[in-house]
Amino acid sequence: MAEMIYSPGLEGVIAGETAVCTISGGLSYRGYSIDDLCENATFEEVAYLLLENTPPDSSQLKKFKADLAENYRLDPQLEELIRKLPSDIPMMDYMRTAVSLVAHFDREVGDDSPEASLRKATRLVAQLPILLAFYHRLRQGKEPLEPRAEDSYAKNLLRLLTGKEPTAAHIKAMDVSLILYAEHEFNASTFATRIVCSTLSDLHSAITAGVGTLKGPLHGGANERVMEVLSEVGSSENAPSWVSEALAQKRRIMGFGHRVYKEGDPRAKILKAYCVPLANETNNQEMETIADIIEQAVSSEKGLPPNLDWPSARLYYYMGLPIDIYTPLFVLSRVTGWSAHYLEQQANNRLIRPRSKYTGKEGLRWPAN
């Protein structure tokens, strides 16, 4: 038997092959750099690219958008079930339940063929923003709004959540954040999704596992905790000493560091450029200044650059979105990457079943005494 390698947290381990995305030589999805995609593509196009493994031509895009719009309406029985839920469920718990619940109403449940799984994934891309906005409005004591087939994904999302017509700047910034969150090779939640798929389980089960994994503050949950950092720091003057104390206490500063990007997360740089104009527009310049000072201090004291969650939290805050939906927004976007990985795993499956290094007792006799 070959010598077994052990790496805590699977750090540095190649755990499988993928053609969905690479981090080497800059982050790219299916060969297209994120810079190019953020500048020239929409979230719908990127979703298509990830799911279908090819950029859409105009008629494919038209059909994809029509497919999304066709799935905007939730089953009335599903709506009833959501209305019966307690109104104070933590939002990521709601998202996990929502993915699981919507599976019961999928017309192809039980068909796990690649073709049906792709159609289920497309439906989920359409349904998740509706499910999020539906519950969010209810918990505010408001009736959910009707999505519009003619609006872009980002525009619908913002209007359904806030009840206001979003500006072009907000739509573009949301679109870019969704593109940046869409895919990131073997991160923890994607790996969880692939593990579920590798047992020949269904797409909704795999995505439910992805949502549960994303919830943790070391992963997607960090974007909500970033706002705690910014509010705890409170002022530019306080920022350097707050960072020194936090690091001295060995606290993890949310929004900084990354398992793979030790020199900096390229996504954070792209999204930061969208924070500045939105901060100006909403009179939040002070928050940008505080964020800059924290960035400089964490970099000089610990050598840690910010990750994507650092600017995304501020961006969503400037858009007036409540903090507890920041990680659910990550879900809406990452469902495209999770699904692309599910389909890829399914197409060339081998059960994911690593070994463990035993550290317990040996050779004991029963009964104990």
Question: Would you count residue 294 as binding ligand ACO (CB under 6 A)?
Answer: no
Considering only residues 271 to 290 of the shown chain, the ones binding ligand ACO according to CB under 6 A are: none
Among 129, 147, 257, 337, binds ligand ACO (CB under 6 A): 257
- Omega into 305 within 30° of 0, i.e. cis? no
Question: Would you count residue 219 as binding ligand ACO (CB under 6 A)?
Answer: yes
The rounded distance, in Å, linking the Cα atoms of 224 and 129 is: 18
Identify any residues that bridge with 306 across adjacent strands, giving them in sequence order.
256
Question: Would you count residue 96 as binding ligand ACO (CB under 6 A)?
Answer: no
258 is catalytic: yes
Kindly name the residue from 136, 170, 184, 258 that is annotated as catalytic.
258
Question: Would you count residue 218 as binding ligand ACO (CB under 6 A)?
Answer: yes
Judged by CB under 6 A, the number of residues near ligand ACO is: 17
Among 254, 294, 315, 319, binds ligand ACO (CB under 6 A): 254
Q: Which is nearer to ligand ACO, 259 or 269 (CB)?
A: 259
Phi (first) and psi of residue 203, to 5 degrees: -60, -45
With beta carbons less than 8 A apart as the criterion, state whether 341 and 20 touch. Answer: yes
The rounded distance, in Å, linking the Cα atoms of 264 and 262 is: 6
Mention every residue, 6+ apart, whose C-beta is less than 8 A from residue 251: none
Q: Which is nearer to ligand ACO, 105 or 261 (CB)?
A: 261
Half-sphere exposure of 2 (CA within 13 A, CB side): 4
**Minimum distance from residue 259 beta carbon to ligand ACO (Å):** 4
| Residue with the two structure tokens 């995305």 | 21
Token pair for 79: 């709506």
Cα-Cα-Cα-Cα dihedral of 214, 31, 197, 123, to 10°?
80
Measured from each CB, the residue nearest to ligand ACO is 257
**Minimum distance from residue 292 beta carbon to ligand ACO (Å):** 17
With beta carbons less than 8 A apart as the criterion, state whether 184 and 337 touch. Answer: yes
The rounded distance, in Å, linking the Cα atoms of 119 and 115 is: 6
Q: Which is nearer to ligand ACO, 132 or 313 (CB)?
A: 313
Question: Would you count residue 170 as binding ligand ACO (CB under 6 A)?
Answer: no
Question: Would you count residue 309 as binding ligand ACO (CB under 6 A)?
Answer: yes
User: Hey, which residues are catalytic here?
Assistant: 258, 309
Binding site for ligand ACO (CB under 6 A): 218-220, 222, 252-259, 302, 304, 307-309
